[in-house]
Amino acid sequence: MLYNGETGFIQSTDGSEVTVLFATGDACETCGLKVVCAPGKQSERLLTLPQAGDFHPGQKVQIEELSNLELHLALIQFGLPMVAFLIGLFLGYVLPLQNILPRELSAFLFACVGLGFSFFAARRLIQRIVGIIPEKYLRIVPCV
């Protein structure tokens, strides 16, 4: 999981947001989900979340993942283009364009248009998810 169970320290708090500092692990080099994580130069990562509790700088906290963010991103990244391609393929094959283009060529062109559409749809969905990641997917829990 992206942050589930990771322990960090509160770096700063301004009343509405909390910044948590994590030490960068070896897994950061190969991680493909850097939409909320910003590796620093000093092998540190910072995560800024809305403040939902009484936290102070230096406090040890743990991050809990409330929903499976990686699954949602994978479905958008791989599932959406596949569905758009198949819908375009089907529409290009079924629509009566045989007078203009051969059926296979029209199916291929519609499938390519479906892939193009999926790029813009996926981009918009990812931008929306990145905006709601702190509220919906992650929670700060103080360590005891």
Domain boundaries, the chain: 7-66+134-142, 69-133
Over residues 13-40, the mean pLDDT reads 65
Burial category of 113 from C-beta neighbours within 10 Å (exposed 0-12, middle 13-18, buried 19 and up): middle
Q: What is the mean pLDDT of the chain?
A: 78
Q: Indicate if the pLDDT at residue 55 is higher than 90.
A: no
Per-residue pLDDT band at 84 (split at 50, 70, 90): very high
Residue of 122 and 49 predicted with greater confidence: 122
The SS3 assignment for 6 reads coil
pTM above 0.95, yes or no: no
127 CB contacts (<8 Å, ≥6 apart)?
A: none
Q: What is the pLDDT of residue 1?
A: 38
Over residues 111-137, the mean pLDDT reads 84
Residue of 93 and 116 predicted with greater confidence: 116
Whole-angstrom distance, CA of residue 93 vs CA of residue 95? 6
